[in-house]
């Protein structure tokens, strides 16, 4: 091969490689990596992209060079020389891809096993997915529940995920991982967040009419702030110590008096927190909760909706929550509001929620 041809080939390879590198780097293809797992996954991506750029540069250079250099003359109608393969070339182009694909497999296997490796003090978080919301709970902290996923920075976290109805999937782009949530199974996802911030968490498995609304957030907090939040939640969730003297005398049957004690906070405060923790605000407007959802009916107008349905207010609200399809508000879709609140809320919670809604609706109805 002449020296000039080698220089030309190298030049073409550099140009093709440069263009491909610019396309790979210039636009921001990937979200920021907010966890150690995401950092490793991004490494695999760039490792593969690097290989692709090198192969692309080689192939493009040889192709462009051949098209230019071996172009026939306009009046040349002769057959080209017949070529019967080239053993050395065939061995080369089998061996190199073999080495590259093996390298990718090894790097991926290392990353996968490291990403699943839990640290010693791994925090367990239980995830329940249902049409169309996620609930996160913290078994180490009295099963405190939250509609958003709060995580401490720098700590290994394992999600244990269950579905109450159909297949859902949990995805936080900044964590680069995705895991299906399948009825009848408990699937797991290991995350070690390493960047404080608020990131979208979404369902990425078409799960019904409200799929596009099945969104929440992953909030990574400084460990101290996270602990403070958890304690705060634990305190407000725990039944407040009753002031009556009877509560101190736990009966010999082992039952405490918490079930009979009056609610610590006013019914509206308890109802408000149930409203907020159940994700109602995603879909409903309610001024008492500063909720502005527009997917479902405006709950400030429940008084007139009940009249419209020719039902007394309290049973109307109760039935609308337990069995949403029994009466469907005209102009709103059927089957979108989760029908599982009757099971996921206790009788007492349900009563508090209904009281809260009735009271706030009456207040805004009188305005
Ligand atoms: Cu879903």
pLDDT tens for the chain, 367 residues long, are 688 889 999 999 999 999 999 999 999 999 999 999 999 999 999 999 999 999 999 999 999 999 998 888 888 888 888 888 899 999 999 999 999 999 999 999 999 999 998 888 899 999 999 988 999 999 988 888 899 999 999 999 999 999 998 999 999 999 999 999 999 989 999 999 999 999 999 999 999 888 998 999 999 999 999 999 999 888 876 654 444 433 333 334 433 333 333 444 566 788 888 888 888 888 888 988 888 888 889 999 999 899 888 888 999 999 999 999 888 888 888 888 888 888 888 888 899 999 999 988 888 865 5
Query: At which residue do the structure tokens 């992209």 appear?
Result: 49
Q: 136 C-alpha vs ligand 1 centroid, how far in Å? A: 14
Q: 215 C-alpha vs ligand 1 centroid, how far in Å? A: 9
Sequence-separated (6 or more) residues with CB below 8 Å from residue 123: 138, 140, 151, 152, 155, 156, 157, 158
The single-letter DSSP state of residue 35 is: B
pLDDT at 257: 38
Sequence-separated (6 or more) residues with CB below 8 Å from residue 30: 42, 45, 176
Beta bridge partners of 35: 193
pLDDT at 238: 62
By the CB criterion, residues less than 5 angstroms from ion ligand 1 are: 168, 203, 207, 214
Sign of CA dihedral 145, 149, 153, 158: positive
Q: 266 C-alpha vs ligand 1 centroid, how far in Å? A: 34
Q: 178 C-alpha vs ligand 1 centroid, how far in Å? A: 13
Q: 78 C-alpha vs ligand 1 centroid, how far in Å? A: 65
Q: Which of these, 327, 332, 345, lies nearest to 283 by C-alpha position?
A: 332
Q: 163 C-alpha vs ligand 1 centroid, how far in Å? A: 9
Phi and psi (nearest 5°) for 80?
-75, 165
Q: 121 C-alpha vs ligand 1 centroid, how far in Å? A: 30
Q: 169 C-alpha vs ligand 1 centroid, how far in Å? A: 6
In whole angstroms, give the CA distance from residue 299 to residue 284. 6
Q: Six-digit token pair at 228?
A: 């403070």
Q: 44 C-alpha vs ligand 1 centroid, how far in Å? A: 28
* 65 to 16, 78, 86, 346: CA distances (angstroms): 12, 22, 19, 74
Q: 168 C-alpha vs ligand 1 centroid, how far in Å? A: 4
pTM of full prediction above 0.75:
no
Q: 128 C-alpha vs ligand 1 centroid, how far in Å? A: 11
Q: 306 C-alpha vs ligand 1 centroid, how far in Å? A: 31
Q: 205 C-alpha vs ligand 1 centroid, how far in Å? A: 6
Query: At which residue do the structure tokens 């409903």 appear?
Result: 284
**Edge-to-edge strand ranges of the sheet holding 197-203:** 149-152, 215-221, 197-203, 168-172, 177-181
pLDDT at 267: 64
Interstrand relation of 197-203 and 187-191 (parallel, antiparallel or unpaired): unpaired
For 248-260, b where at least 16 C-beta lie within 10 A, e where not — what string?
A: eeeeeeeeeeeee
For the 264-366 domain, the top CATH level (class) is mainly alpha
Would you tell me how many other CB atoms lie within 10 Å of the CB of residue 113?
A: 9
Q: 125 C-alpha vs ligand 1 centroid, how far in Å? A: 18
Angle at 163 between CA 276 and CA 120, to 5 degrees: 90
SS3 state of residue 248: helix
Sequence-separated (6 or more) residues with CB below 8 Å from residue 188: 158, 159, 160, 161, 179
In whole angstroms, give the CA distance from residue 58 to residue 51. 11
In whole angstroms, give the CA distance from residue 213 to residue 196. 25
Map out the domains of the chain as residue ranges: 3-69+88-116, 123-237, 264-366
In whole angstroms, give the CA distance from residue 87 to residue 25. 37
Q: 323 C-alpha vs ligand 1 centroid, how far in Å? A: 20
Q: 148 C-alpha vs ligand 1 centroid, how far in Å? A: 15
Sequence-separated (6 or more) residues with CB below 8 Å from residue 344: 130, 135, 164, 278
Give the architecture-level CATH label for domain 123-237: Sandwich (2.60)
In whole angstroms, give the CA distance from residue 210 to residue 283. 10
Q: 274 C-alpha vs ligand 1 centroid, how far in Å? A: 21
Q: 41 C-alpha vs ligand 1 centroid, how far in Å? A: 24
């Amino acid at each position: 091969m002449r020296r000039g041809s080698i220089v030309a080939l190298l030049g073409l390879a550099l140009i093709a490689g440069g263009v491909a590198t610019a396309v790979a780097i210039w636009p921001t293809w990937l979200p920021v990596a907010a966890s150690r797992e995401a950092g490793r996954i991004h490494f695999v991506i760039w490792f593969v992209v690097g290989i692709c750029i090198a192969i692309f540069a080689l192939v493009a250079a040889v192709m462009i060079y051949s098209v230019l250099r071996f172009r026939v003359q306009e009046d040349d109608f002769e057959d080209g020389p017949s070529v019967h393969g080239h053993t050395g070339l065939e061995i080369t182009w089998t061996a190199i891809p073999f080495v590259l694909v093996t390298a990718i497999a090894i790097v991926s296997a290392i990353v996968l096993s490291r990403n699943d490796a839990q640290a010693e003090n791994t925090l367990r978080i239980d995830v329940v997915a249902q049409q169309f919301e996620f609930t996160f709970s913290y078994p180490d902290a009295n099963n405190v529940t939250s509609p958003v996923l709060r995580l401490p920075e720098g700590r290994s976290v394992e999600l244990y995920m269950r579905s109450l109805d159909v297949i859902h999937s949990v995805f936080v782009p900044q964590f680069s991982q995705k895991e299906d949530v399948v009825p009848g199974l408990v699937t797991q996802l290991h995350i070690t967040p390493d960047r404080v911030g608020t990131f979208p968490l979404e369902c990425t498995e078409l799960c019904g009419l409200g799929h596009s609304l099945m969104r929440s957030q992953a909030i990574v907090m400084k460990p101290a702030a996270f602990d403070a939040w958890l304690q705060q939640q634990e305190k407000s969730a725990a039944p407040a110590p009753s002031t009556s003297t009877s509560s101190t005398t736990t009966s010999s049957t082992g039952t405490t008096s918490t079930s009979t004690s009056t609610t610590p906070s006013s019914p509206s405060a308890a109802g408000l927190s149930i409203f907020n923790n159940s994700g109602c605000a995603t879909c409903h407007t309610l001024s008492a909760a500063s909720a502005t959802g527009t997917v479902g009916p405006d709950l400030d107008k429940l008084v007139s909706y009940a009249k419209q349905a020719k039902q007394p207010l309290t049973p109307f609200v109760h039935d609308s929550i337990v069995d949403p399809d029994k009466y469907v508000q005209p102009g709103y879709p059927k089957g979108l509001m989760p029908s599982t609140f009757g099971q996921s809320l206790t009788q007492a919670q349900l009563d508090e929620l209904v009281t809260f809604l009735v009271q706030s609706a009456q207040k805004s109805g009188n305005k």
